[in-house]
Amino acid sequence: MNTKDIFERLRNGEIILPSDPEAYQMMEASFATKKLVVAMNNATEPEEIRNFLSQIIGSQIDSTVNVFTPLHINYGKHTSIGKNVFINFDCVFLDLGGITIEDDVFIAPKVSLLS
């Protein structure tokens, strides 16, 4: 019997099939994230965008992080973002396997980070 939840298994690089009994958890989490992503992408003030992004990833975003929306994220809780980061327009983060953006990173428009 597997004692790890589906998100741990994803972070460990395990293959998850659509028929997995826990696969529904990924969909539920993604739909919850989508609501926050829509709100973030409609925000206009940098601080408001950072606040939504903090909620999406589950940790505080530094005030030196700037995001030009839209930004598309499928889960969020497996993304970490350092200081002095700029994320340009129309990026996609699919982070079920984990994404780490360290300090002093500039991400160009339309970049996709997929894990």
The CATH number of whichever domain residue 50 belongs to comes to 2.160.10.10
Q: Return all residues near 79 (Cβ < 8 A) that are at least 6 apart.
A: 56, 57, 73, 93, 95, 98, 99, 100, 101
pTM for the whole structure: 0.88
Name the residue range of residue 90's domain.
6-114
Average pLDDT over residues 87-105: 97
Residue 1 lies in a domain: no
Residue 17 lies in a domain: yes
User: Which has the minimum average pLDDT: 1-5, 65-69, 85-89, 101-105?
Assistant: 1-5
Residue 95 lies in a domain: yes
Phi-psi region of 110 (alpha: psi -120 to 50; beta: other; left: phi over 0): left
Q: What is the tally of structural domains in the chain?
A: 1
pLDDT 10s digits, 33-59:
999 999 999 999 999 999 999 999 999
**Cα–Cα distance, 90 to 96 (Å, whole number):** 19
pLDDT at 103 over 60: yes
Residue 10 lies in a domain: yes
